[in-house]
Chains A and B, each alone.
Chain A
Amino acid sequence: MTVQISFTLNGRPTTVEAEPATLVAELLREQLHLTGTHIGCDTSQCGACVVHLDGLPVKSCTLLAPALDGATLLTIEGLLGAPGSNQMHPMQEAFREHHGLQCGFCTPGMLMTAIALAAEKPDLTEADVRHGLEGNICRCTGYQNIVISVMAGAAAMNAAKGE
């Protein structure tokens, strides 16, 4: 049995048929071919699958696909500027500038969490960022450059807002 689910995905109206038990992470990767959202664990610990549901960061491995009905979903693929553009989000630019990634596997989830953190609190401290990234595991970077990237990305997002 499948159900029909209609939602807004990265700005576009989308309708899919899916088994009710399908996880959002699976739906994105297997049915919608959006493989930027990664699955790094089976216990909702690692955060590689974080996406924004109605503007809030969620672990898409713990969310069932029917919950998307009527919702707005943003994934890593939706961060770029206009369709076909390679214009990165200020947080993506900050990660590149400050070497906030190594193997890149945790990176999509890190970015989605980071953007949500920065949007929630304009004046992030280092402690805020470290605490805010608690649900995302990175094995490569030792977090230092991720923390620096998030601070810089948040500042850039604030600056862009002010313009």
Chain B
Amino acid sequence: MGNVIGIGAAPKRKEDQRFLTGRGNYVSDIKRPGMAAGVFVRSPHGHAVLRGIDKSAALASPGVIAVLTGEDAAADKLGSLPCGWGISDAKGVPMKEPPFPMLAQGKVRFVGDMVAFVIAETPDQAEAAAELLAVDYEVLPSVVSVLEAVRPGAPQLFDDVPNNICCDWELGDKAAVEAAFKKAAHVAKLSLVNNRLIGNPMEPRAAIAEYEPGTDRFTLWTTSQFPHVVRFLMGALVLNIPQHKLRVVAPDVGGGFGVKQFHYGEEAVITWAAKRVKRPVKWVASRSEGYVSDRHGRDHVTEAELALDETGKFLAFRVNTLANMGGYLSTFGPNIPTNLYAPLLGGVYTTPAIYCNVKVVFTNTVPVDAYRGAGRPEATFVLERMVDVAASEMGIDRVEIRRRNMIPKEAYPYQTPVLVQYDSGDPMGCLDGALVAADVKNFGIRKAASASKGKFRGLGYSTYVEACGLAPSRFAGRLGARGGLYESATVRVHPTGQVTVMIGTHNHGQGHETTFAQIVSEKLGVSFENVDIVFGDTDRVQFGMGTYGSRSLVVGGAALSKATDKVIAKGKKIAAHLLEAAEVDIQFEAGNFSVAGTDRTKSFEEIAGAAYVPHNYPLEVLEPGLEEQAYYDPVNFTYPGGCHIAEVEVDPETGTVTLVNYTAVDDVGTVINPMIVEGQLHGGIVQGVGQALFENAVYDEGSGQLLSGSLMDYCMPRADHMPMMKVATHSTLCTHTPMGVKGCGEVGTIGSPAAVINAVVDALSHLGVTHVDMPATPNRIWRLLQNASLPVAAE
């Protein structure tokens, strides 16, 4: 018994003690005996033929142990980095899938593409030697924007990928959409850019690899959100290491946001190198190196059209998007702008017909992959901007047009025209709650107060839905997934009743050690302090798909819940024997097994003890021990959603946008730990605000140089950029997950960009401004105001 802390409580986090005292164990903190240091030599050109590499000067440099190149990898017959999703066009023609060698071979295709790995006694010696590596490049013109890349005559990245188009993908009923457009009373149009982002988890990526000749085993410590998937992809598909000979450990990881959920070439190179040089090898990226090697996010160019009837009801939505993949296909790359984007274009509305075409395009940029929200923020942004444009053009209030088109609560489950079926939701309830919390009715007073100071105040709405808890394996398989999307958990009850959980998700800030312990504490009636959560080590955890797409609690928590149910079921059998009762008569409540209607009872600890000391135990019918495992493969995505309202003030003299109020009401299903959920919502919102107002990865067309190449020129949100936010939950329960949870990790990032930009446009609408691309930086706004040719700061 003891201190049971269950679902809905907000205990302080178990993981905090070590983080607050400097005792976290991040990859860069780890040292191994005899460890050498590795440095990657990366292409300084966006696009070039690799004519040759002269290693001699580098090899002669002090402390150098080895220099490895793509030629060495080819000689060792190593595979290229696999893509985890294979998409096809409407005719079923598979995407073009050129190889992604872990070290460049023949050509480099983005600034940062890896050319060589230099290993030396110390990082400084490796750096010095890397400077001496003579790489002969024949520089080619680069193409970095999708608009340029698909034009005739554009530089071609791959000989067998005409026009740089990886796949011309579509979803929806094109004919039905065309028919609806013909009878529309109004058609609203919008062209927009969804800006390229750099994830910037505060811990830069790092890896250490070690090979033990005595056992022929490899260990890789890596900053990963999914160590088992790295073991599978790297072992089975890249390096040909049997799974049982490869241990992948992701210890404390300092933030992920998607950026650390891919199998990176660095991991493969360093593991291969450790065996070649017979030394443990460590590599730690600098932040600037991360800028040209961490996978980037977003980067869409979109044309959208919304057909409406005369009352403002949506008839059809048509979207054409060019999505940037960068120089190669990353682990989930092609899945993000297709399967995780187009099915969310229905949003929370009853739009009967939707068609989306996505051209997935290669360019000379860092590969693009999932970044917090992954496809769903892009869908929400285009839809919620489109709704505002339509409302403005038709003279309908922005809240009213949303209400007229929202799926009513009683219409759930709701089948959209684009694949997905929402199981539950209450968008109107979220909207109503947000309107009150944001004090929208007094906005006019605040706007007038701003105007009296010469400032323009605007209010912006975003009502959204996301598909998360990725996902049913069968469904994902039909969409091109080359892996499963289940999760596993093992509940190990020790002889004295304490519990160790081994789970396949990964904790990198989400508080799993606390949330999952609450689930076990409640379900088994054991003390919260007596539950430990183990994750991130393929030698300790059987299998798992890791943490991304808000799947940990939804899928991992469900596996954990199932495993605890199995523990209880076995405990009942043991209790029935000990209490000399029929199994059906055993009840389990508050940590005690008892015979219904009697005072005969055995505690959870007594049952655990009997399982491991089976002197009086039903050995004829039951194995000793108390440890159960469950795998859980969900039947559907979950569909969190909500309404976000942003309020901004624009200074027309400088173009500065200040976020003055922010309100979010989100439907995340059952809340296990409200403190942790609120923290996830805060962080998510600010990440979306970052995209809307500050963050932008800018490339130079032609040279392919990344101009925003460090934290000096990529603006991350800081504490003084934000007001205090108001966040609340208005939850409907997921109908198919065991605890009714829906996921909360990404909702903030999905909801906020559109809310902020809609607010900026609202603030400037009296000047005729109808759209602002992200990020709404002072420079962009100031130029817009100059072009508006209005007496902005006339007095």
Contact = CB atoms under 8 A, between A and B. Distances in A.
Contacts of B684: 142
Which of A34, A75, A77, A140 has the most chain B CB atoms closer than 10 A to its own CB? A140
B255 A139 contact: yes
Contacts of B748: 142
Contacts of A41: 204, 286-287, 710-711
Interface stretch (B185-193, B443-451, B508-516, B640-648): B508-516
B561 interface: no
Contacts of A130: 719-720, 722
Interface string A138-155: 111111111100000000
B253 A103 contact: yes
A77 to B, nearest CB: 5
Interface string B17-57: 11111111010110000000000000000000000000000
Main secondary structure of the interface of A (DSSP, over half): loop
Given A40-B202, A104-B15, A130-B719, A96 B287 contact: no
Given A96-B13, A99-B679, A101-B16, A126 B724 contact: yes
B683 A140 contact: yes
Interface stretch (A1-9, A52-60, A105-113): A105-113
A79 interface: yes
Contact of A99 (B201, B676, B711): B676
B579 interface: no
Interface string A82-120: 000010100010011101011111111001000000000
A40 B287 contact: yes
Given A80-B21, A144-B682, A43 B288 contact: yes
A80 B725 CA distance: 32
Contacts of A27: none
A146 B719 contact: yes
Interface in A32-87: 34-43, 45-46, 48, 75-77, 79-80, 86
Contacts of A137: 202, 711, 716, 718
Interface residues of A, number: 54
Contact of A95 (B16, B28, B716, B725): B16
A103 B22 contact: no
Interface in A125-142: 126-127, 129-131, 133-134, 136-142
B716 A37 contact: no
**At the interface, is chain B mostly helix, strand, loop or mixed?**
loop
A36 B23 contact: yes
Interface string B725-751: 100000000000000000000001000
B718 A133 contact: yes
A107 B687 contact: no
A40 B710 CA distance: 12
Contacts of B255: 102-103, 105, 139-140
A99 B675 contact: yes
Nearest to A131: B720
Contacts of B508: 103
Contacts of A142: 679, 682-687, 717, 722, 725, 748
* List of 9 A-B pairs having minimum Cβ-Cβ separation, nearest first: A36-B22, A104-B19, A105-B254, A103-B509, A142-B682, A142-B686, A102-B509, A76-B22, A45-B711
Given A41-B287, A139-B200, 17 more contacts: A29-B29, A36-B24, A40-B254, A45-B716, A76-B22, A92-B20, A96-B20, A101-B19, A102-B679, A103-B254, A104-B20, A105-B202, A107-B19, A108-B22, A129-B719, A130-B722, A133-B719
Interface of A: 29, 34-43, 45-46, 48, 75-77, 79-80, 86, 88, 92, 95-97, 99, 101-108, 111, 126-127, 129-131, 133-134, 136-147
